[in-house]
Amino acid sequence: FEPVHPVANEDLERETGEKTSSVHFLRFELSPEMITALKGGAALAMGVDHPEYRHEVRNVPENVRRSLVSDLA
């Protein structure tokens, strides 16, 4: 599958002239095929691809993968 890029902070205004929120949210839009694959036991990888910081976890630990999959409807 192709990488999925997050959608950030779309639900609420997060800052005012005096402050910014300390809580931020990321949402990932997975295709039905991706969800089916994950529920079927497919491996999960994640990473950061930023010019100043790059990191990849090729195999997310199974307990973390299961927890994330349990959030999928």
Report whether 42 contacts 65 (CB < 8 A).
Answer: no
In whole angstroms, how far apart are CA 16 and each of 7, 12, 22?
21, 12, 12
Its pTM stands at 0.75
Write out the chain's pLDDT in tens, 73 residues: 999 999 887 666 666 778 777 777 888 999 999 999 999 999 999 999 999 999 999 999 999 999 999 999 7
| Domain residue limits, the chain | 7-70
Instruction: Give one DSSP letter per residue of 21-66, joined into a string.
Output: -S---EE----HHHHHHHHTT----EEEEETTEEEEESS--HHHHH
pLDDT at 17: 76
pLDDT at 63: 96
